[in-house]
Structure 1
Amino acid sequence: MTRLNEGMSYKKYMDLYTVSYNYCTSSRMNSGGINETLGVSGSAGRSGANLMGADLYKHLKEYFIEHLKGVRAEAADLSDEPLLRYYTREWDRYTTGASYVNRLFTYLNRHWVKREKDEGRKNVYVVYILALVMWKEHFYTALQQPPASGGNKLTAAVLKLIEKQRNGETIETDLVKKVIDSFVALGLDENDTNRQNLDVYRQAFESPFLSATDSFYSAESEQYLAANSVTEYMKKSESRLGEEESRVDLYLHASTRKGLVSKCEEVLVKNHAEIMQEEFQRLLDQEQEPDLHRMYLLLSRIPNGLDPLRERFEQHVKKAGLDSVERAVGAAAAAPADGDAKGAAAEKKESAVEPKAYVDSLLAVHKKNSELVGKAFRGDQGFVASLDRACREYVNRNKACSSPNKSPELLAKYADSLLRKSNKASEDADIEQALSDTMTVFKYIEDKDVFQKFYSKMLANRLIKDTSASEDAESSMIGKLKDACGFEYTSKLQRMFQDMQLNRDFNAGFKEKMQQTHDESELSIDFQCLVLGTSSWPLAAPTAKLNLPAELLKTKDRFEHYYMNKHSGRKLTWLWQHSRNECVESGSSLSQASALARACCSRPHRRLRTLYTPQKYFFVTSTHQACILLQFNSSGDSLSLKDIETGTGLPDETLKPILANFLKQRVLELKDGMYELNLGFKSKKIRVPLNVPIKAEQKQESADVMKHVDEDRKILIQATIVRIMKSRKTLKHQQLIAETIDQLKARFQPRVPDIKKQIDVLLDKEYLEREEGSRDNYRYLA
């Protein structure tokens, strides 16, 4: 046969193919003789052609063995890179020659080899596979025998070359790839040669390679950490991991990727995770986003590697939030209190922090850390959860929150400031963004029912005083609350807007009716009234009776007559404490030449405004203030407290704060126990607002809101317990409490003692009963 280092012409190739074909199909030889020669048992069913095929197969096998003896002899003294060069060269030549031989003996493969394999004979292969088996048995196995120095000769040479590359030296990667490809090719499945078997590759290369990888990176990481910072080590580790993944693509088998990456992660990351985790806080404090991102990527490779980071991040955000609020509180307390600012400064100090400063301090921390989670931690859900827990903690429990209900109250006041006409944000986009920021904080508020009460109260004030900046903005905010908490949460707020629309039409009808039935001289007061549904509006009936001046009483009676004709059987309750008026100071008296009163009925509400002569001061007052001032029209310029009390019908606790406000604003003067009009009153403003909120009233308002919240909570807890028991019929005490908390936590965080009290109430009302023989089980009574 042709030697491997010689060429072969097409004619010679065809001649050899023809010889092999003729030889395989020849039957001239005696079957017995051939059987004796080949050592094969005689068989009546086997033809001469079959025996000739066996003879040819045997000679091919001997030819491969003879060739490999010479190859093995030349490799005996070689090692390291020369050995690899020799091995890859001979492998290329051998597999190329085996491919040609395989095609020369196509007929042998197609008939004799196939027949032998079909009959279940072992150790019979197609010619190409036979060549690989011979390479494995007579060259590879001998080459891989452990030398005296230890380790397989061929594998050791490959590992040395890879180590050189890891140390930064340039190597011939083709040498490594070809050797590894030969390991893969030599993985032959005895039962199915068409199926790849990686046993040779794993035993000869993968296992020692992973072991060498462990040793190399263990030593390198220890040395590098001893001489460099943790951040530099992370860069090095990131680079090494990238190199190893590229190495798989360059010359390793794809199946090694998982084991190699896992080994590198263990050695480079897991073994030094604690050091990196300790560095995390410093990186957070110094806001080193790239390094934080690098640490996240590295530690995310190992099980539970990010858990300590998430815990530290949560504590970091919580501390940052508490510090931010403390700075806002400190700034408010340290505000200057000179001149006219003293009152405002005292008020700031009283409340510790104003709503805008408070909410801005919360948002600043959230925004900063939310961006960090998105960029450095790729929006990881674990870090998002840590951020949410931290925000919930510092939003609900901070230095500005003297009580658990303070945070929702301040947030409601902030939303109120955004939605008022006095808001400086003129652009719709600015208001919309500010409302979205409000909802960001709202998401973390635990007592959402407290926010609802305060927001509802402030919305009512904006609507009845016509101070809302925009109906679109109001609707947008209600829509956001509805999306967050559901329809029930905002149903009353939406009905308030419906009432306002109905009142526009109703007041237009009333004004038209009055113009038809009365002369202009009789209609000296421009009057508007808002009729508001008791169940929807958070407005309480007045506790004190008010004697209306004659100037206002006629208009009130006309409206009541008109309303009762339209809606018989309804009851109107006038809410004078919510009304507003405008009066004109005219010499020694206060004129009501023209007044606009807006009153609320049904739980009404009244607002009065008097239009005055342009050359005088116009006082914007509440109805209580207007009634006091109008007493001076009929009783002179000086009145005693008793006179004012008798004339208005207001009690001392209502009168005294109002009179104190008049004295403070120098509308009245107190001389010898008498209240006198200040005829020399001067102001830089023509339109003077006198109805400024009184601090005591604001505090009382907050207390009233919380009182209503407590009452609503009791009812809600009872309703939740009944709903649970109705579906479950019987339930243990602890399970009932747990399910009640779970269902109510979206609205507020119920206390276990409060739930127990309501269970007792329901037991007394016979909605529930304790099962006989067990005080721990409850049964629902239909």
Structure 2
Amino acid sequence: MGSIWQDKGTVTFEEKWPAMRPTVLKLLRQECVSRAEWQDLFWAVHKVCLWDEKGPPKVQKALQDDILDFITHAQARVLDQHEDQALLKAYISEWRKFFQQCNYLPLPFNQLESALAGKTTTSVSKKVQNDDSIVRKLMLDSWNASIFSNIKQRLQDSAMKLVHAERNGEAFDSQLVIGVRESYVNLCSNSGDKLQIYRENFEKAYIEATKSFYRVKAPQYLEANGVQNYMKYAELKLREEEQRGDKYLESFSGSLQNLNECCVEVLVTTFRDTILAECSQMIKNNETDKLQLMFKLMDRVPDGIQPMLNALEEHIVSAGLADMVAAADTITQDSEQYVEKLLDLFQRFSKLVTEAFNEDPRFLTARDKAYKEKGIGNKTQPESKCPELLANYCDMLLRKTPLSKKLTADEIESKLKDVLLVLKYVSNKDVFMRYHKAHLTRRLILDTSADSEKEENMVEWLREVGMPADYVNKLARMFQDIKVSEDLNQQFKETIRTTTKSSVADNLNIKILNAGAWARGSDRVAVSLPMELEDFIPEVEDFYRKKHSGRKLQWHHHMSNGTITFSNNMGRFDLDVTTFQMAVMFAWNQRTHDKISFDNLRLATELPDPELRRTLWSLVAFPKMKRQVLSMSGEVTSPKDFTENTLFWVNQEFAPIKNGKPQKRGKVNLIGRLQLSTEKSKEEDNEGIVQLRILRTQEAIVKILKMRKRISNAQLQTELVEMLKNMFLPSKKLIKEQLEWLIEHKYMKRDDDNINIFIYMA
């Protein structure tokens, strides 16, 4: 027991350090250390720190002296270099060797770590983390205090000079700058912020150097090369600086973001107004590549995009309206050309947004806004031509016409969807639906649809693009009525055959339709029908009464048509005619060669004056016929020129002309565009649209107030437009009038303290 205590007493720092020091110096110099020397150092440190009470501080002090001595020699070797690159190479070489040894030298001194931390046990339960090692910190702090702090500014300046040279196209070893950055990062002793020294020195210097470089270069380049070339230069330099920052800055420190903001400021923001001044002309010239470059640059700048959006809107308005006005005389009379022109403009502007601005939602919104508010969707009266022409174009595609015959099913579908695309920007959608419904009625009654499946698809497409449900539901009901009517028609024919044993019913085709979905009551026109038709009316009514007790039939003869056989000196022809035309033609049934006055024809047909004039005009001036069915006395240029005494007679020379020769047989369609509304009902339709808009506006105001209870005028108008925009855009005048009406009738009232606040009254 006594010998053990004696051994402890003989283990002192002074005794062991001379043997330990050579191994420590070898480790500092990165010289080869044998396994025995490595193990002896571990054991010697262990014994001195454990058994010599004053040993640990002495070991620490001796270690520090040797580290400082090593660093002093390293500093001398570095400072021997006077040229910037040589200095950096020397420093980085010395630093990297030293930093590598910061990982190895602390390992044998674990017991020193424990002793200095106040642990006296011989066993260490948990190894001290290398990064928190006292010896490692001693090494790094010594390097920082002795060499780095003295030449830090010179290192930094040399590194920035090299980066500057690289920006000017000179080549050098990038590891020199990277090595300097690494020492800034690794030498920080602040455990709470390891990047403090790096951020306050290297990053700050790098960003300042970048600013200084481009503050000189950028204006020079812009002045020498112009805006369009400068944009390419700015985009190139932004990419270059991003790549350079990846290489020279700490990626996870926020440095790259700071660098990017700095570059955008000096390369783009400074010249924002100068660059944007070119935007309008580029859009006008359709210079998509240059616009795309401008878009990329301005998207980095606060409020850089808004002037570009304004320029695009102004261009669409001015260029679009200019094109439409230039072709106004033609396109307002030809629905096909009108819609093709609209689509051409829309596709042109859409292509510009796609190619120049990558379909950025902000530019798509600007396109839509310009196209809707200033272009085709301007706030016009209900009689605006645009919705009517769009509906006419749809009719040409859905009806059996030369246009629909030359197109494939896919092409027709594509064009219909194009119309729906344009329809999105039309304010008066209720007007479009009025015309579309009239055309659909005509197609279904005359059975002139090119494709029944497309007809039904169109109804669903209208629903999908947000057309009002009540409008679309009426169209869907029309198809249901036609299918039901076909079954009723078949049953009626079978009933007639059974009761009369006659085959005449085979030539009849009755359509029993829901009046609410199809027509107005005022559309009904009195007419004296030929006996052949008149005889069947009681039969039809009796048949229907038995099927549906309590329902009443109303006959809409202006929607009917038929085929009659017509004979004259030229031959025998089948004429497809409206019921009104048939009534007029039958006036000559018993007196083929007589001349009958306008007044007598009115008595014979019982047609109202406007309808008789329109019907006679279709028989004396049918545009597609070289020879007309009827002839007349006097020279007239329109139906209004007919007088009470104008005479009409059957044209005995009438015949269809084929290859320049009159035919003796043939079928002629005189129906043309079957008139489905009377002059009176046209006026009522326009008045009806106005009245419906009034009711819809009142209904929407009450609905909003009921939900909100209390609302400002501005907010009410905003919500009202949002609610009604799928049908029409209510004018400020309309809104004001309906607000006053609702206040007057006690649906709502103004706030006593603020007249711009409305309150709902239950």
Q: Which has the higher contact order (CA 8 A, sep 6+)?
A: 2
Q: Is the 8 A contact 2:748 2:759 kept in 1?
A: yes
The residue that corresponds to 2:447 in the other structure is: 466
- The correspondence for 1:507, drawn from 489, 502, 511, is 489
* Cα separation, 2, equivalents of 1:683 and 1:732: 68
The residue that corresponds to 1:100 in the other structure is: 104
- The correspondence for 1:531, drawn from 509, 512, 515, is 512
Q: Secondary structure at the match of 2:526?
A: coil
Percentage of matched positions with identical amino acids: 30
Q: Is the 8 A contact 2:46 2:111 kept in 1?
A: yes
- The correspondence for 1:70, drawn from 73, 88, 93, is 73
Report the Cα offset of residue 310 of structure 1: 1.0
Report the Cα offset of residue 167 of structure 1: 0.9
* Cα separation, 2, equivalents of 1:728 and 1:100: 75
The range that moved more, 507-516 or 242-251, is 242-251
2:89 counterpart letter in structure 1:
R
Alignment map for 1:12-51 (pairs within 5 Å): 12-27=37-52, 48=53, 51=54
The residue that corresponds to 1:45 in the other structure is: none
The residue that corresponds to 2:187 in the other structure is: 186
2:272 counterpart letter in structure 1:
A
Say how many residue pairs are matched. 699
Against the structure 1 CA distance between its residues 719 and 618, is the aligned structure 2 distance closer, same or farther, given a 3 Å change threshold? same
* Cα separation, 2, equivalents of 1:433 and 1:445: 19
The residue that corresponds to 2:538 in the other structure is: 557
Q: Once superposed, which parts of structure 1, at least 4 consecutive aligned residues long, lie more than 6 Å away?
A: 401-404, 694-701, 770-777
The residue that corresponds to 1:80 in the other structure is: 84
Alignment map for 1:433-452 (pairs within 5 Å): 433-452=414-433
The residue that corresponds to 2:670 in the other structure is: 690
* Cα separation, 1, equivalents of 2:447 and 2:510: 12
Against the structure 1 CA distance between its residues 524 and 739, is the aligned structure 2 distance closer, same or farther, given a 3 Å change threshold? closer
1:296 counterpart letter in structure 2:
F
The residue that corresponds to 2:577 in the other structure is: 621
Q: Is the 8 A contact 1:588 1:677 kept in 2?
A: no
Write out per-residue CA displacement over residues 178-206 of structure 1, whole angstroms, 9 at most, x where no aligned residue: 111111001121xx3xx552121122211
Report the Cα offset of residue 771 of structure 1: 7.2
- The correspondence for 2:142, drawn from 134, 138, 143, is 134
Q: Is the 8 A contact 1:456 1:538 kept in 2?
A: no
In the alignment, structure 1 residue 655 sits paired with structure 2 residue 637: no
Write out per-residue CA displacement over residues 737-778 of structure 1, whole angstroms, 9 at most, x where no aligned residue: 554334223321112322333344445555446678987666
The range that moved more, 504-513 or 358-367, is 358-367
Q: Is the 8 A contact 1:245 1:261 kept in 2?
A: yes
* Cα separation, 2, equivalents of 1:259 and 1:760: 58
* Cα separation, 2, equivalents of 1:320 and 1:473: 35
In the alignment, structure 1 residue 670 sits paired with structure 2 residue 673: no
In the alignment, structure 1 residue 369 sits paired with structure 2 residue 373: no
* Cα separation, 2, equivalents of 1:154 and 1:775: 73
Q: Is the 8 A contact 1:545 1:649 kept in 2?
A: yes
Against the structure 1 CA distance between its residues 24 and 442, is the aligned structure 2 distance closer, same or farther, given a 3 Å change threshold? same
The residue that corresponds to 1:234 in the other structure is: 231
Alignment map for 1:737-752 (pairs within 5 Å): 737-752=717-732
Report the Cα offset of residue 503 of structure 1: 0.1
Q: Secondary structure at the match of 2:566?
A: strand
* Cα separation, 2, equivalents of 1:153 and 1:571: 105
The residue that corresponds to 1:341 in the other structure is: none
Q: Is the 8 A contact 1:663 1:670 kept in 2?
A: yes
Write out per-residue CA displacement over residues 323-351 of structure 1, whole angstroms, 9 at most, x where no aligned residue: 3323442545xxxxxxxxxxxxxxxxxxx
Q: Is the 8 A contact 1:668 1:678 kept in 2?
A: yes
Q: Secondary structure at the match of 2:576?
A: strand
Q: Is the 8 A contact 2:525 2:557 kept in 1?
A: no
Report the Cα offset of residue 729 of structure 1: 4.4
The range that moved more, 284-293 or 211-220, is 284-293
The range that moved more, 195-204 or 234-243, is 195-204
Q: Secondary structure at the match of 1:669?
A: strand
Q: Secondary structure at the match of 2:516?
A: coil
* Cα separation, 2, equivalents of 1:443 and 1:726: 29
In the alignment, structure 1 residue 756 sits paired with structure 2 residue 736: yes
The range that moved more, 706-715 or 212-221, is 706-715
2:169 counterpart letter in structure 1:
G
Report the Cα offset of residue 369 of structure 1: 2.5
Q: Is the 8 A contact 2:78 2:87 kept in 1?
A: yes
- Calculate the aligned-residue CA RMSD, in Å: 3.0
Q: Is the 8 A contact 2:442 2:676 kept in 1?
A: no
- The correspondence for 1:388, drawn from 368, 383, 396, is 368
Q: Secondary structure at the match of 2:562?
A: strand
Q: Is the 8 A contact 2:569 2:653 kept in 1?
A: no
* Cα separation, 1, equivalents of 2:357 and 2:754: 52
Report the Cα offset of residue 644 of structure 1: 1.1
* Cα separation, 2, equivalents of 1:353 and 1:671: 31
* Cα separation, 2, equivalents of 1:471 and 1:677: 38
* Cα separation, 1, equivalents of 2:753 and 2:291: 60
Report the Cα offset of residue 539 of structure 1: 4.2
Q: Is the 8 A contact 1:619 1:690 kept in 2?
A: yes
Report the Cα offset of residue 657 of structure 1: 2.8
- The correspondence for 2:248, drawn from 225, 248, 251, is 251
* Cα separation, 2, equivalents of 1:286 and 1:646: 67
Structure 1 gaps, min length 5: 28-47, 119-123, 145-151, 333-351, 590-614
Against the structure 1 CA distance between its residues 456 and 660, is the aligned structure 2 distance closer, same or farther, given a 3 Å change threshold? closer
The range that moved more, 164-173 or 200-209, is 200-209
Alignment map for 1:312-351 (pairs within 5 Å): 312-332=311-331
The residue that corresponds to 1:335 in the other structure is: none
Against the structure 1 CA distance between its residues 428 and 115, is the aligned structure 2 distance closer, same or farther, given a 3 Å change threshold? farther
* Cα separation, 1, equivalents of 2:112 and 2:586: 126
1:216 counterpart letter in structure 2:
F
Give the TM-score, by structure 2 length: 0.85
Q: Is the 8 A contact 1:79 1:157 kept in 2?
A: no
* Cα separation, 1, equivalents of 2:755 and 2:284: 54
Report the Cα offset of residue 648 of structure 1: 0.5
Against the structure 1 CA distance between its residues 69 and 455, is the aligned structure 2 distance closer, same or farther, given a 3 Å change threshold? same
In the alignment, structure 1 residue 161 sits paired with structure 2 residue 150: no
Write out per-residue CA displacement over residues 440-492 of structure 1, whole angstroms, 9 at most, x where no aligned residue: 11111122222222222221121112112222212221112212225334111
Against the structure 1 CA distance between its residues 519 and 295, is the aligned structure 2 distance closer, same or farther, given a 3 Å change threshold? same
The residue that corresponds to 1:289 in the other structure is: 288
The residue that corresponds to 1:39 in the other structure is: none
Against the structure 1 CA distance between its residues 646 and 629, is the aligned structure 2 distance closer, same or farther, given a 3 Å change threshold? same
The residue that corresponds to 1:630 in the other structure is: 586
* Cα separation, 2, equivalents of 1:468 and 1:25: 106
Report the Cα offset of residue 571 of structure 1: 2.2
Q: Secondary structure at the match of 1:294?
A: helix
Give the TM-score, by structure 1 length: 0.83
The range that moved more, 64-73 or 413-422, is 64-73
- The correspondence for 1:60, drawn from 59, 63, 66, is 63
Q: Is the 8 A contact 2:561 2:577 kept in 1?
A: yes
Against the structure 1 CA distance between its residues 693 and 98, is the aligned structure 2 distance closer, same or farther, given a 3 Å change threshold? closer
Q: Is the 8 A contact 2:378 2:427 kept in 1?
A: no
The range that moved more, 168-177 or 485-494, is 485-494
Q: Is the 8 A contact 1:72 1:143 kept in 2?
A: no
2:208 counterpart letter in structure 1:
S
